[in-house]
Amino acid sequence: MDLRRSKYANYRYSNYMQEGLAVLKIGSSVEAAIFTDDRTIGRNNNVLHSAKREFAAKNSVASSPSKSRDENSATWERKKPCDDKAIRTTKNFIGKSCYNLGEKGSGFRPRGEVQDFNTLRRECLAAGRLFEDPEFPANDSSLYFSRRPDRYIEWKRPMEIADDPQLFVEGFSRFDVQQGELGDCWLLAAVANLTMHQNLFFQVMPEDQSFEENYAGIFHFRFWQYGRWVDVVIDDRLPTCRGELVYLHSAENNEFWSALLEKAYAKLHGSYEALKGGSTCEAMEDFTGGVTEMYQMDQTPPNLFNILLKAFERNSLLGCSIEPDPNVVEAETPQGLIRGHAYSITQVKNVEIHMPNRYGTIPLLRLRNPWGNEAEWNGPWSDQSPEWRFIPDHEKEELGLTFDMDGEFWMSFHDFTRHFTQLEICNLNPDSLTTDDISAGKKRWEMSVFEGEWVRGVTAGGCRNFLETFWHNPQYRITLECPDEDDDKCTVIIALMQKNRRAQRRMGADCLTIGFAIYHLEYPERLPKPLDINFFKYNASVGRSPAFINLREVTCRFKLPPGVYCIVPSTFDPNEEGEFLLRIFSENKNNMEENDEEVGIGDVDDRVPDEPEEDRNTEKVREFFKKLAGPDLEVDWMELKDILDFAMRKGKCCVCALLTRYIFT
């Protein structure tokens, strides 16, 4: 993955991506985690679990990890190992390009002191105290930004909530994710999907933490945010009411990984309230760095099941939902499905079927309700459905078939398309593939990433309806040379994401209405950079986003002939300001650059007289620059914008000129 940045981005408040500059790369996994993803029959009997562990220790019996329910096995009912050491990965595979929250280069402004997990933990252990996070305090400001809690909330550490607190009780699974009182089922569905992918799970939750070894009341999680991985540090004080967790929790009362993950995600966005309402694809992308496609079930392509099957085979994360009832919150349908609720798809398979008058296969999906309760599909292929009589025993074993009231169920693809209204597919970042995946011949996307900003009066031109200003928008040129293996065209997924809008909710910011258009450049060498108003006046787009919409991200898949194209991202109305990230996924390598003239700085003319002695305001600007730039005296475009704003407030344009000269000499 290239994330190219140019020092000249500062001139237009957008990032010119050039070869050879900063590169962020996610590393690869060294060793896969060994775990199983189902609960034992006596899943809530912690006394029994402890007795099993004690028995195993006394008899020196090493628990052998059993296979997940998605693998072949000799029994239908799966059990997790009792040994707490069953999870045995070696190290996180994010690599070196993970920034601390607020650190320079993280894309986030510091909210105080930049927090480094290892440093803080060492300090707490040396001082013999438990960590208390001053940046996300245990008070109402971390819960809500628009109101006060309607009851008394007490913040407690896990040791005050349960005996023998653990991050994991017999491993981790999708059954660990139970929704609390916060309206964030979109997040829970993504978390449930995350547990199905061990490498991705440990990418988000590093393994260097526990309630036992080096415990200091401090934990950390890693989330993808706009092209970078960001490490978020938290303390383990959790909101409770009458001694019970208020928000996300596990079915096991002494298992806390899911509650801590939710807290870290809430801190990233400023508060728990900021997590209310959202799309599963948003959380999927923050956990993986992937790009998400959204399908409305009444407008799906004819090969949708094949798309789903291939996506599942490539470890894509899948989610779905039913259009909500405007009159009833999370109304239940006669078939047992919940409207407006986010479900995760945990298996996609063509299943062998033997009926008296029919032999063949039937496409089936396994889904899960994040509530993890008895609210399940009750139609064909549901738990205890008579259709299962026609499935051979070996197929049942391969499916890991169980009939628990756990919120997980099977249904036919036909019924799925009839009852669900929306489908989300998260295509994983190409760097998320492990060495094992590559050795197994799995394919990967080629990806280009650009950052930019719409600035009032400069680059915020609005959509094509506003021809006079549309050409002011940032423009990106992409060259597609090689068609797909099985086609004469090139598959391209374009994803336009607006940045930081959820975190800015407390300031009244909502998502902007965004979209993009694609133009074919038949003779690119004859065209100006950037394309001017005359080009857009006489040339129609060859592709565009399905609509301009106020979501965090707009994504669309295209089939384009090889050639040169220009992508123009924009808001719907002119002069709406915001930052964005533009990502391009293609099956074969693409060459992408900002479609703009090169900006450079020539040599200083000897005839330019020396500047007079700097006054007090200039010195203040210089000190402000040094403070933001740090010891390397380098700034990104966000920091330069802050510096120029500070300089202009001093009321002297010469200050800006001197500052610019100081920065680039």
Confidence (pLDDT) at 65: 33
Q: Report the relative pairing of strands 342-355 and 358-368 from DSSP bridges.
A: antiparallel
- How far from chain centre, in Å, is Cα 594? 25
Confidence (pLDDT) at 404: 75
Selected catalytic residue, list 369, 473, 590, 595: 369
What pLDDT digit, counting tens, does each position of 339-393 carry?
887 788 989 999 988 877 778 889 999 998 866 667 789 999 988 888 988 888 8
In the chain, residues under CATH classification 3.90.70.10 are: 291-427
| Helix, coil or strand: residue 492 | strand
Confidence (pLDDT) at 527: 96
Structure tokens belonging to residue 314:
């490539």
Confidence (pLDDT) at 329: 64
354 in active site:
no
Confidence (pLDDT) at 657: 53
Selected catalytic residue, list 98, 124, 185, 566: 185
| Helix, coil or strand: residue 338 | strand
Query: Tokens 């996180």 — which residue?
Result: 92
Contact 209, 274 (CB under 8 A): no
Structure tokens belonging to residue 420:
């669900």
341 in active site:
yes
* 635 vs 434: CA distance, rounded Å: 34
Q: Inter-axis angle of helices 257-269 and 185-194, to 10 degrees?
A: 130
Structure tokens belonging to residue 476:
């990106």
Beta bridge partners of 663: none
Q: Report the relative pairing of strands 317-321 and 446-454 from DSSP bridges.
A: unpaired
| Helix, coil or strand: residue 31 | coil
The domain 445-594: what is its CATH number? 2.60.120.380
* 40 vs 424: CA distance, rounded Å: 31
Confidence (pLDDT) at 276: 86
Residue 305: is it exposed, middle or buried by C-beta count within 10 angstroms (0-12/13-18/19+)? middle
Q: What is the pTM of this model?
A: 0.67
Confidence (pLDDT) at 145: 83
Confidence (pLDDT) at 324: 81
Residue 100: is it exposed, middle or buried by C-beta count within 10 angstroms (0-12/13-18/19+)? buried
What amino acid occupies position 531? L
- Parts of the chain with a pLDDT under 50: 1-96, 601, 604, 607-608, 613, 652, 654, 664-665
What amino acid occupies position 155? W
* 220 vs 202: CA distance, rounded Å: 12
Sorted by sequence, the CB contacts under 8 Å of residue 224 that are 6+ apart come out as: 230, 285, 286, 287, 288, 289, 429
* 530 cis-preceded (ω within 30 degrees of 0): yes
| Helix, coil or strand: residue 258 | helix
Confidence (pLDDT) at 47: 35
Selected catalytic residue, list 197, 220, 341, 472: 341
291-427, which class in CATH? Answer: alpha beta
Confidence (pLDDT) at 234: 98
Cα 384 to Cα 347, 395, 410, distances in angstroms: 18, 16, 11
Contact 220, 206 (CB under 8 A): yes
Element (H, E) at 534: helix 533-538
* 476 vs 195: CA distance, rounded Å: 37
For every residue of 396-423, which 3-state class applies, written as one string? HHHHCCCCCCCCEEEEEHHHHHHHCCEE
- Comparing CA positions, the residue from 522, 562, 525 lying closest to residue 538 is 522
193 in active site:
no
In the chain, residues under CATH classification 2.60.120.380 are: 445-594
Confidence (pLDDT) at 16: 29
Confidence (pLDDT) at 536: 98
Confidence (pLDDT) at 119: 96
Element (H, E) at 467: helix 467-470
What pLDDT digit, counting tens, does each position of 433-461 carry?
677 766 666 677 889 999 999 999 999 99
* 143 vs 605: CA distance, rounded Å: 58
